[in-house]
Chains A and B, each alone.
Chain A
Amino acid sequence: MRESPRQIFVLVASFALLAALPWIAGAVGRPDLVTLGSQACVMAIAAASLDLLMGRTGLPSFGHAAWLGLGAYTVGILAFHARDLGPPWDQWAVQAWAVWPLAVLVPAALAAVIGALCLRTSGISFIMITLAFAQMFFFLFVALKTYGGDDGLTLRRRSTIPGIAPRDDVAFFYVCLTALVLVLLLLRRVAASRFGTVLDGIRQNERRMMAIGLSPFPYKLAAFVLSAGIAGLAGALHVNLFRFASPDLLHWTMSGELMVMVVLGGLGSLWGAMFGAAAMVVLHAVLAQWTEHWQIVLGPILVAVVLLARRGLWGALGGK
C-alpha cells in the first residue's frame, strides 16, 4: 500500500487540478467541464467501491451497477413521493442528510441478501450470478411504470443541503469531490486494518486462510455489503448530478464499465480506480463528440488494455 514518490506527486497534482477545475472551466469558457468533473468523481466513488471487492477481496462482481442504480432510485423515489407525505416527512424526503444515508443503507441491505446467495458460488459462476441478479433489478425498474419505467425518473430538484443552492453546479461539484476524498480515505483506512488484511489473505489464498481457522464467508459478505453501500452513495450523487435516474444506470453495460474502470486504473490499487474512472468518463466525452458510434472505438481499446496493459494506469505510474 506504500505509494511511490511519483505516485504521491501525481495524486497531489490531480487533486489540486480537480479542486481548481471550476476556475479552469471558467477561464476556458467551458462550464460543462464542471459537470464532467462531478461525473468523474461520482464514477470514481463507484469504481473505488468495486475495487474493494475485485481488487482487494478477489471477488469480480459483474453486477455492481445494481447498487449504483438502487442508490439513485432510493433518492429519486423518496423525492417523487415527497408531495404525498405529510409534514415533517415531506421535507425529510428531500433532505440530503436524511435520504443519502438511506441511499447507502437500501443497497447495502439488499446486498446482504443477494451477496449471501452469490457467495455460495465462486469463480466464473460468481461473475455470472452477480450479473444475473443485477439484471433482475434492471428488469424490475423497467417494469415499474410508476417510476417512469424505461424512460426513467426525473428528480424535480437536488436534495437539500443547508447552505448550498440546488442549482449551483460548482457547489455540487465540490460536494462530489469531498465525498470522493472521504470515500478514498475510508477505503484506504479499511485496506490497512485487520479487516483489510483478512480480505487480502482471502484473495491471495483462501485455502490457507481456512487452514489457519478463518471462515471466509462473513468477511466476503461484509466486503460485498460495504462495497454496495458506497456504490449506493455514488448513485445518490449521480441522480442529484443529472436530476435523473434511469434503468440504464443498472444496465449490465454499466457494471461492465465499472469493472473496466477498476482494471484500467490498476486492480487493487484504490487510487487507481479514480484514474480509471476519470479516464473512462473523459474518453466517453471525447469519443462521443467525435462520433455517434464511439463504442466501436471503445471496444478495441478495452481489448488492448486487457491484453497489453495489465498493471493499469496506477501501476504504470509506480514504475519498475
Chain B
Amino acid sequence: MTLLLEQLLNGLQFGVMLFLMAAGLTLVFGIMGLINLAHGSLYMIGAYAAAWATLQTGSFVLGLLAGLSAAAVLGMALEAVILRRLYARDHLDQVLATFGVILFCNEAVAMIFGRQPLMAGPPPWLSGAVEIVPGVPYPVYRLAIIATGLLVAAGLYVLISRTRIGMLVRAGATHRELVGALGVRIGLLYTAVFGLGALLAGLAGALTGPLLAVQVGMGERILITTFVVIVIGGLGSIRGALAGAMLVGMVDTLTRGFLPATLRAVLPASEADALGAGLSSMAVFILMAIVLLWRPRGLFPAHA
C-alpha cells in the first residue's frame, strides 16, 4: 500500500514533467503548425545550464534561473534564425531541419560539457522527505516538482482561456489567416509562443536535472515519450496534453514499479527482471496503440 502511494506520486511527478514538455510542443504545433524535434534539445539545454550554474554558484535558484533563461533565449534565437523559415513548409522539412538542430545541439553540449553526466542534487532546503500520511515518507523535492507543474498547468489554463494573448492563441490555432488579418503582428506572437514553449521545456529540464543524470541524449528520450503523450491526448490540445501526460506518466511509472516484481512470481528472477524491463518500456507504446484503435485522433482532438 505504501509502495503504491509512492509510485502513484512518482507517476504524477513524471506526468507533470511530461505535461511541461507536451504543452510547449502542442502549443507550437497548434498555433504555428510546426513540429519541432529540437524541443527535447531545449529541455537538455535547460537541464545543463541549471546543473552547471548550480554547481558553479551553489545556488539552486540561480541554477533554475539560468536553465530557464538559457532555454528561452536559445529557443527564441532558434525560432528567429531557422524555424521561422519552416512554418510554410511541409512537416517533413520541419522534421528534417529540426533533426539537424538536434545533432548540432547534442554534439555542441558534448563538446562543452564532455560525455560525463553532470550531477547536481536538490538544494538542502528541498532535500529530505516528509511524511505525507503517517508512516509514508516522500521526497520533498519531488513534491515541489508536482506543485510547480500543477501551478504551471493552472497558469496556462488562465493564460489561454482568460487573456487577450490566449484569445489570439486560440484564434491562431483555428484561423491562422484571420489573426493575420486582424493586424496582429503575427511574427511577434509566434516568437512569444515559441519562447513560452521553450521556457516550459527549460523548466522541465532544470527541475528534472537533480533527479537524473544530466547527459547528452536525455532530450530525445523525453521527446519521444512526449510524442506518445501528444498522440494520445490529441494534437494541438492543451487539455489533451494534460490528460495524456498524466496517463503516460502513471502507466510508465506503475509498470516499471510493479511489472518485474509481478513477473518474479512466475519466472526466475533474472529473466523476470529482463522481461519486466522490456515490457514496461514498451507499456506506453502499447497504451498509445490501444488509444489509437479506440480514438484515432486522440482523447481530445483539437479541431473536431
Once A121-B296, A125-B231, A128-B230 are accepted as A-B contacts, the answer to whether A296 and B108 lie under 8 Å apart by CB is yes
Q: Which of A123, A260, A293 is B96 in contact with, Cβ under 8 Å?
A: A260
- Docked pose: A253 CA to B220 CA in angstroms: 10
Contacts of B293 in A (CB 8 A): 117, 120
Whether the pair A263, B96 counts as a contact (CB closer than 8 A) is yes
CB distance from A38 to the nearest CB of B (A): 25
- Least CB distance from A273 to B in Å reads 14
Decide yes or no whether B145 CB sits under 8 A from chain A.
no
Which residues of chain A are within 8 angstroms of B281 by Cβ–Cβ distance? 136, 139-140, 142-143
Q: Is B133 an interface residue when CB atoms closer than 8 A count as contact? A: no
Contact pick for A302, options B100, B107, B227, B296, CB 8 Å: B100
Contact B103 A302 (CB under 8 A): yes
Give the CA-CA distance A65 to B93 in the complex, in Å. 19
Known: A121-B231, A143-B278, A252-B220. A302 touches B96 (CB 8 A): yes
Check if B96 sits within 8 Å of A306, measured CB to CB. yes
Task: Return the chain A residue nearest B278 by Cβ.
Answer: A143
| Size band of the interface chain A makes with B | 35 or more
A23 to B108 CA separation, bound complex (whole angstroms): 40
* Residue of B whose beta carbon sits closest to that of A310: B93
Q: Are A132 and B224 in contact (CB under 8 A)?
A: yes
A143→B96 contact, CB < 8 A: no
Shortest distance in angstroms between A110's beta carbon and chain B's nearest beta carbon?
13
**CB distance B102 to A299 under 8 Å?**
yes
Using known A-B contacts A60-B95, A299-B101, determine if residue A132 contacts B227 with beta carbons closer than 8 Å.
yes
Contacts of A117 in B (CB 8 A): 289, 292-293
Which chain B residue shows the least CB distance to A135?
B224
Q: What are the residues of chain A within 8 A of B102 when measuring CB–CB?
A: 299
Instruction: Indicate if B1 sits at the interface (CB-CB under 8 A).
Output: no
Residue of B nearest to A143 (CB): B278
- Residues on the B chain within 8 Å of A127, using CB: 35, 91-92, 95
B274 interfacial by beta-carbon distance below 8 Å: yes
Question: What 1/0 mask marks residues of chain A from 91 to 108 whose CB sits below 8 Å from any chain B CB?
Answer: 000000000000000000
Q: How far is the CA of A131 from the CA of B110 in the complex (A)?
A: 24
The answer to whether A307 and B285 touch (CB under 8 A), given A131-B227, A135-B224, A259-B96, is: no
Is residue B97 within 8 Å, beta carbon to beta carbon, of the partner chain?
yes
Q: Is B152 an interface residue (CB 8 A)?
A: no
Mark contacts of A50-67 with chain B using CB atoms, 8 A cut-off: 1 yes-contact digit, 0 otherwise.
000010000010100000
Task: Tell me, in angstroms, the Cα distance from A305 to B95 when the chains sit together.
Answer: 13
- Among B86, B227, B292, point to the contact of A120 (Cβ < 8 A): B292
If A132-B224, A144-B274 touch, does A296 touch B29 (CB 8 Å cutoff)? no
Given that A121-B292, A252-B224 are contacting pairs, would A139 and B99 also be in contact in the complex, using a CB cutoff of 8 Å? Answer: no
Is the Cβ of B107 less than 8 Å from the Cβ of A303? no
Partner of B224, one of A124, A131, A143: A131
Neighbour of B92 across the interface among A142, A259, A296, A300, CB < 8 A: A259
Instruction: Let me know if A120 and B296 touch, CB within 8 A.
Output: yes
CB-defined interface of A133-155 with B at 8 Å, one 1/0 digit per residue?
10110011011111000000000
Interface pair B100/A299, CB less than 8 Å apart: yes
Most buried by A among B29, B96, B102, B104: B96
B148 within 8 A of A: no
Interface centre among B95, B230, B282, B286 (most CB of A within 10 A): B95
Chain B residue contacts of A133, Cβ below 8 A: 285, 289
Q: Which residues of A contact B93 (CB under 8 A)?
A: 306
Partner of A129, one of B89, B104, B288: B288
Contact of B106 among A263, A295, A307 (CB under 8 A): A295
Interface residue? A10 (CB, 8 A): no
- Name the CB-closest residue of A to B220: A252
Answer whether residue A315 sits at the interface, using C-beta atoms and an 8 A cutoff.
no
Kindly supply a per-residue 1/0 record for chain B positions 247-280, scoring 1 wherever the CB is within 8 Å of any chain A CB and 0 otherwise.
Answer: 0000000000000000000000000001101110
> Roughly how many angstroms separate A296 CA and B105 CA in the complex, as a whole number?
8
- B185: Cβ under 8 A from any A Cβ: no
A-B contact sample (13 more), CB < 8 A, given A124-B35, A136-B285, A252-B224? A117-B292, A128-B35, A131-B224, A132-B224, A140-B281, A252-B220, A259-B92, A259-B95, A260-B99, A300-B100, A302-B99, A306-B86, A307-B86
A-B contact pairs, 9 of them (CB 8 A): A117-B289, A121-B231, A121-B296, A132-B228, A133-B289, A136-B286, A142-B281, A146-B274, A306-B89
